[in-house]
Amino acid sequence: MIIISAENLSMRFGLRGVFKDISFRLASPSSLTVTGPNGSGKSTLLKIIAGLLVPTSGRVRMESDSDEIKAESRRKLMAMVSPEMNFYDELTGAENLEFFMKASGSRLKPEEIEEALNEVGLQGRGDDYLKAYSSGMRMRLKYALAILKQPEIMIVDEPSTNLDASGRKIIYDLMHRHQQNGILIFATNEDDEIAIANERINLAR
């Protein structure tokens, strides 16, 4: 069982305080949604949990069967989907998936890549360069990478950004499935998405 606990997280950018004293504890399987107006620090909080930003004070602790998981090992357990995160335009969709999986330590078979692309509705588009992808297809590719990684912890910033109705259905199914086995943390203000999570943190500006 994986446990994530945030202890009194605070974040400032220069003189501007973003949020203060955020604490929570999640044990798998579970889910948490972070809500709040624009600029309240939802994406910042997710980045801190993912280890991409260091909080001004407080800390994020992760445990597996009571043993603390060190920072470098955390990334192996985690996948993140965010509109801020880009893949390489000069590579094809399949090459991007292959590269990121290799960088994180896993070699994939071509059929595994094809299967993940099928799952997010990108069948037959793996050999296209990313620069030919629409913004919705790019978002779907990020979910394909998250599927391939099979993470214990999935972090999603604005889950349905740029997605059409069929894309939303695919990722809502994925989020429902994930929260039954692992930990799902996502930031949104969409009512449909808020309803998916078991727990909620609301950040006020």
Partner 1 sequence: MSELTWPAKLIALVVKDFRVELRTRYSLNALIMFALVTLFALGVTFTGQNLTFRIHAALIWIMIYFAGLQGLSGGFVKEEESRTAMALRLYAPSSVIFFGKLIFSLLILTILVVFLFPLYYILMNLEITRIWIMLLVLILGIFGLSATSTITAAMVSKANVKGALFAVLSFPLMLPLLLVAISATTVCLGGGDSQALWDSLKIMIAYPVIVTAVSFLLFDYVWNN
Give the interface with partner 1 as residue ranges (CB under 8 A). 50-52, 54, 72, 75, 78-80, 82, 84-91, 95, 99-109, 112, 148
CB 10 within 8 A of CB 45: no
Q: Which residues lie across from 22 on neighbouring strands?
A: 9
Of the pair 16, 107, the CB lying nearest partner 1 is at 107
Cβ distance to partner 1 smaller for residue 16 or 70: 70
Both tokens of 67, joined, read 């043993």
Find the shortest distance in angstroms from Cβ 5 to partner 1: 21
| Least distance to partner 1, CB of residue 102, Å | 4
When the beta carbons of 161 and 194 are compared against partner 1, the nearer one is: 161
Helix/strand/coil for 203: coil
From the list 89, 90, 98, the residue with the least C-alpha distance to 117 is 98
DSSP state of 45: H
| Strand-strand pairing, 57-64 and 153-157 | unpaired
> At closest approach, how far in Å is the CB of 58 from partner 1?
16
- Of the pair 61, 200, the CB lying nearest partner 1 is at 61
Residue 191 Cβ vs partner 1, minimum distance, rounded to whole Å: 28
Amino acid present at 77: L
Identify which of residues 52 and 194 has a Cβ nearer to partner 1 in the complex: 52
Output DSSP code: residue 99. Answer: H
Minimum Å gap between C-beta 158 and partner 1 is 14
Task: Give Cα 13 to chain centroid, integer Å.
Answer: 23
Under 8 Å between Cβ of 172 and 184: no
